[in-house]
Amino acid sequence: MGKIVKTNALRILDKNEISYEAKNSIDLEIDHDASLIHKTLVAHGVSNELYVFIIPLSNELDLKKAATAAQEKKILMLPEKELLQNTGYIKGGCSPIGMKKLYKTFIELSSSQMNQLIVSGGKVNFRVKLKPEDLMQLIGAKAVDLIK
């Protein structure tokens, strides 16, 4: 089993006394329900404001629903080359916790009602399992219908 390195995301969870389970992806048990795993997507609106969307890994973000949630005319995915400078994270290791700024964040409605979910822990192949309500409260996320 790999050693767990404290990332910014984990330090923030610890500081806020939020219960979580951290795992290197390669350590995740095979019987883990893949539906728990979520991806963190960063997009921008016509206003150039950035938004964060948390959706199940197997789903696709509905850009029209995302635009409606963000009250934007149109939403576009942030180019990969702009991810690090805006969030402090790289593709595949982008955690909704501990970004450079607290962007307006939206979580898939069905995900918000789960017992637990898994998001990136702040590095590639490193994940954090926690309660959706803890995550939402920590980052100020709103639950909305976001997927196709």
Residues 7-21: tens digit of each pLDDT: 899 999 999 999 999
Can you list the alpha helix ranges (DSSP code H) found in 1-148? 8-15, 63-70, 80-87, 109-112, 132-139
Q: Which CATH architecture has domain 8-144?
A: Alpha-Beta Complex (3.90)
The span from the CA of 1 to the CA of 6, in Å, is 16
> Taking the model in full, what pTM does it have?
0.92
Quick: pLDDT tens for 29-45. 544 677 899 999 999 99
- The number of CA neighbours under 13 Å toward the Cβ of 141 is 27
Rounded-to-integer distance, Cα 38 and Cα 53, Å: 10
Instruction: Indicate the Cα dihedral angle 120, 24, 32, 52, nearest 10°.
Output: 0
In the numeric block, which tokens belong to residue 64? 């029209």
pLDDT by residue (tens digit) across 61-72? 999 999 999 999
